[in-house]
Amino acid sequence: MTSTENPINEAAGQAAGTEAGAAVDNDVEITPRSVLGRLPKYAAGKPPAAIEGLQAYKLSSNENPLPPIPAVLEAINAQTDIMRYPDPLSTALRTELASFLDVPADDIVTGAGSLGALVQILQTFAGQDDDGAADEVVYPWRSFEAYPIMVGLAGARSVQVPNRADGSHDLEAMAAAVTDRTRVILLCTPNNPTGPALTTAQVEGFLASVPGNVIVVIDEAYTEFVRDPEVVDGIAMYKKYPNVVVLRTFSKAHGLAGLRVGYSVSRPAITQYLRVAATPFAVSSIAEHAAITSLRHYGQVKERVQSLVDERERVVAGLKELGWKIPQTQANFVWLPLGENAQVFAEFAGKEALSVRAFAGDGVRVSIGEVEANTRFLQLCAAYAKVQAVS
């Protein structure tokens, strides 16, 4: 073979010819879909800054500060077949959940966290018609900050309904916002980041006021932390109303945020379409096995959750004693409605090696963390109140 017949030399010659001949246009702009420019950017909770002499604590991401129960850690360590693809239907996990929730396994669709399960719902039921007209998704605001991003990426239009002054959903206003273009409604209970939860009576009244062909998603990422008996149970609602879809996750109470495993529960008339939109292999075999093990030892999980609820109540009582007025919370976090001072408070906390989640112009969400972290947070709030009084 001569040098000119060698395909490697030929390719090199072509590359050289490109450099010597027609110049590559390095100024060509590669642009994404125009919708990206109109969407907010998701801002994950930041880790705390290191401060000499202080133990740093992250209270900015609503994470469970406690590790998974020992049996789950053992189950994770025992997994060795990670070179194999997981079951795309998460059959074993759905079977375990079916028994745990007393629902048919076919009514459960797993996803990469409850957010992954929500994306499947939006991609299935909300987007654009063939004529380009956008569907509408109604949801409260402020609420989970991924909502507007996922709605926009699905091609639908966000209809944001402001919360009431106490941080709760304005269900009357949400019902009034429904039009013939509405395809999905999102209810976040307890609401992230403000904390209030919806009651059964409120949700049933709302469901009676919206069309039955509109999907109503009840996002219950924090349901295990609820202690108010009047708060709605999404599973009971889905059993009663065919247009209800329930979202739940193993990220919070079970302490499996890093493994990304969540699910939706709805009637077969809905799940038959969700399975088409589901991302294949979204839940890894490690995540599935960990979730199953956690369910089988749920008594231990409940004990840990109760310890966090006890800490939540201690923090709430401490804030009230200091004179802070905060919304009632049924989640694993508290909301400080600081308005324009939100960022100032977050910086104040950062100087004490505590990271909190500031929402500019609205307030600050603070996750319930380790006992020492919660105590320092209360001390911080007392010091902040004194500084504000002086200034």
pLDDT in tens, 196-254: 999 999 999 999 999 999 999 999 999 999 999 999 999 999 999 999 999 999 999 99
Which residue has better confidence, 388 or 9?
388
Q: Would strands 182-188 and 136-141 be described as parallel, antiparallel, or unpaired? A: parallel
Cα-based torsion angle of the residue sequence 377, 311, 64, 355 in order, rounded to the nearest 10 degrees: 0
Q: What is the pLDDT of residue 391?
A: 61
Domains within the chain, CATH numbers bracketed: 44-62+299-390 (3.90.1150.10), 70-296 (3.40.640.10)
Judge contact between 314 and 374, C-beta under 8 A.
Answer: yes
Q: What are 111-126's pLDDT values in tens digits?
A: 999 999 999 999 999 9
Judge contact between 269 and 241, C-beta under 8 A.
Answer: no
Q: What are 267-290's pLDDT values in tens digits?
A: 999 999 999 999 999 999 999 999
- Its sign, for the CA torsion 143, 192, 116, 187, is negative
State the CB neighbour count (10 A cutoff) for residue 176.
Answer: 12
Which residue has better confidence, 275 or 34?
275
> For the whole model, what pTM was predicted?
0.91
pLDDT band (50, 70, 90) for residue 163: very high
Position 103 pLDDT exceeds 50: yes
Identify the burial level of 46 via C-beta atoms within 10 angstroms of its C-beta, where 0-12 means exposed, 13-18 middle and 19 or more buried. middle
Q: What is the pLDDT of residue 69?
A: 97
Cα-based torsion angle of the residue sequence 223, 317, 328, 144 in order, rounded to the nearest 10 degrees: -60
Q: What is the pLDDT of residue 66?
A: 97
Q: What is the pLDDT of residue 24?
A: 73
| Residue type, position 343, single letter | Q
Of 90, 46, 32, which is closest to residue 367 (Cα–Cα)? 46
Q: What is the pLDDT of residue 3?
A: 45
Q: What are 371-382's pLDDT values in tens digits?
A: 999 999 999 999
Judge contact between 142 and 168, C-beta under 8 A.
Answer: no
